[in-house]
Copies of this chain bind each other. A is one copy, B any other.
């Protein structure tokens, strides 16, 4: 029955990495709470860096600061 929603910035997450996140999150719910994988949902949402703010600024600007 668990529903796991993973939000990350849209920064080239590959299909293989998504599959790994899905497998890992499902395994975690099975291991810790003995949940049934067949009814465990994992939904990954990728968010543009303009659309994600931390410290009051968009991640787009944050990345530019980090690269200078």
Q: Which residues of A contact B (CB under 8 A)?
A: 1-9, 13, 15, 17-29, 31-33, 35, 37-47, 50-61
Task: Give A53's nearest chain B residue, CB to CB.
Answer: B22
In the A-B complex, the 6 residue pairs with the smallest Cβ-Cβ separation, listed nearest first, are: A22-B53, A42-B53, A26-B56, A44-B51, A24-B28, A5-B5
Copies of this chain in the oligomer: 6
- Quick check: B32 and A28 within 8 Å, CB to CB? no
- Quick check: A20 and B8 within 8 Å, CB to CB? no
- Quick check: A51 and B46 within 8 Å, CB to CB? yes
Known A15-B60, A25-B53, A44-B52; further 19 A-B contacts with Cβ < 8 A: A1-B41, A1-B52, A1-B54, A4-B6, A4-B7, A5-B5, A18-B51, A19-B50, A21-B28, A21-B33, A23-B57, A24-B31, A25-B28, A26-B53, A37-B54, A38-B54, A39-B54, A41-B53, A46-B51
